[in-house]
Homo-oligomer: A and B are copies of this chain.
Amino acid sequence: MPYTPFDPPRRTLMGPGPSDIAPRVLEAMARPTIGHLDPAFVGLMDEIKALLQMAFKTENALTMPVSGPGTAGMESCVVNLVEPGDTVIVCQNGVFGGRLKAMAERGGAEVVLVEDPWGRAVSPEKLEAALKAHPEAKIVAFVHAETSTGVLSDAATLASLARAHDCLTIVDTVTSLGGSPLKVDEWGLDAVYSGSQKCLSCTPGLSPITFSPHATEVVQNRATLVQSWFMDVSLVMAYWGTGTKRSYHHTAPINALYSLHESLVMLQEEGVEQAWARHERHHYALRAGLEALGMQFIVPEAERTPQLNAVSVPEGIDEAVVRRRLLDEYNLEIGAGLGALAGTIWRIGLMGYSSRPKNIVGCLAALGTVLADEGLSVSADEAVAEAQQVLAEQAAV
């Protein structure tokens, strides 16, 4: 003490999130605060709901941002659907499946775990076997894009299996929303949560969720109260609900919602499908450069989330030293491994506003230079050239 105003360093964010935020989204956040029951704010809430329906590809009435980070959205889905004694099948192939398991257990569920190796997609065969072995199961929970490994699972197939066995689905789309194809209604997903700070490139701290009519009905017909008052969607929806009559539940994070609205307007301007295609294109360019640096992806190509590239740390390299040098010398953040993969992988994100050719080239140049300096026989220039060639080919199409 005394403390002085905080002026953050200017970073380029290419980790697993948060991603870089567009200047217009930051500007939106700094607009003057209005009351959370102001008619102008109620209009904003309606627009945010409609824009989230667009992003999720759904017509679900219960679609809104939870006033908390993705973790709060995850728990909102779990505690509203799970009642004590319910059997929940949790598919785990990374950190976040484990978190779903922990939350379901705290909600009183009997959890059946379907495990796949970290770095591989959830196996539909294993899920089907678990569904057959547990006819009492009520819910299947899985992660669409595992943020800890960069794996994309086949959500449509997994949901279809769950439905065939009369199970609801809880689906983690934190890293996929706005970045990878996600079709909530077409795929029949029931309770879906995401985060604001990944491919939407909004400030961290909000968690868009959407519940199907079936999931909503299950919540309305619970035998027990939802254990969390804060997360009880029946109460929250009286605040976020339709019509002009809103009931106070909590004070919404007004300025954060300004920024979510702006980031969704940007997504609408680009087009949801176009955003998916951009994330895929840029993955190919980054991949070409990373492979030129001799890097190995930990996920087979067909199972990769294009916006999150997980690669093994080359032998003989201290991964923390490299990340620290990228941060200190280039103001570039890439992600470390999480959980069982800590120390052995890097996670390079190309999400939302961060997913730009400038960042692909900048990251490859910085990473190549540092790796060469740390003793690897690699060329940053070659890596950059490979990526630029892919970008040029894409532009020519």
Contact = CB atoms under 8 A, between A and B. Distances in A.
Given A6-B262, A228-B106, A268-B1, A204 B30 contact: no
Interface string A191-230: 0000101000001110000000000000000000111111
Nearest to A105: B225
Interface in A21-41: 21, 24, 26-36, 38-41
Interface centre among A256, A262, A269 (most CB of B within 10 A): A256
A143 to B, nearest CB: 16
A371 interface: no
A241 interface: no
A4 interface: yes
Nearest to A265: B3
Contacts of A47: 3, 6
Contacts of A6: 28, 31, 44, 47, 258, 261-262
A178 interface: no
Interface of A: 1-11, 13, 15, 17-18, 20-21, 24, 26-36, 38-41, 44, 47, 50-51, 54, 67-72, 74-75, 79, 99, 102-103, 106-107, 195, 197, 203-205, 225-230, 248-256, 258-259, 261-262, 264-265, 268-269, 327, 333, 338
A254 B18 contact: yes
Given A9-B34, A204-B253, A204-B255, 13 more contacts: A3-B47, A13-B33, A17-B251, A18-B254, A21-B255, A33-B203, A33-B204, A71-B249, A75-B230, A107-B227, A197-B251, A205-B251, A205-B254
26 contacts: A1-B50, A2-B269, A3-B47, A3-B268, A6-B258, A6-B262, A8-B258, A9-B34, A11-B32, A13-B33, A15-B35, A18-B251, A18-B254, A21-B33, A21-B255, A26-B31, A29-B30, A30-B30, A38-B327, A67-B72, A68-B72, A71-B250, A72-B72, A106-B228, A203-B256, A204-B251
A106 B268 contact: no
Nearest to A44: B6
Given A30-B26, A69-B67, A230-B72, A5 B265 contact: yes
Contacts of A33: 8, 13, 18, 20-21, 26, 197, 203-204
Contact of A69 (B20, B250, B259): B250
A205 B228 CA distance: 18
A9 B253 contact: no
Contacts of A268: 1-3
Contacts of A39: 327
Nearest to A198: B251
A273 B50 CA distance: 46
Contacts of A71: 229-230, 249-251
Nearest to A7: B31
A175 B149 CA distance: 43
Contacts of A261: 3, 5-6
Given A68-B72, A228-B228, A31 B8 contact: yes
Given A6-B261, A67-B68, A258-B8, A253 B34 contact: no
Contacts of A205: 67, 205, 251-256
A3 B69 CA distance: 25
Contact of A13 (B35, B51, B248): B35
Contacts of A259: 255
Contacts of A2: 265, 268-269
A3 B203 contact: no
Nearest to A20: B33
Given A32-B21, A262-B5, A106 B251 contact: no
Interface centre among A68, A75, A262, A265 (most CB of B within 10 A): A68
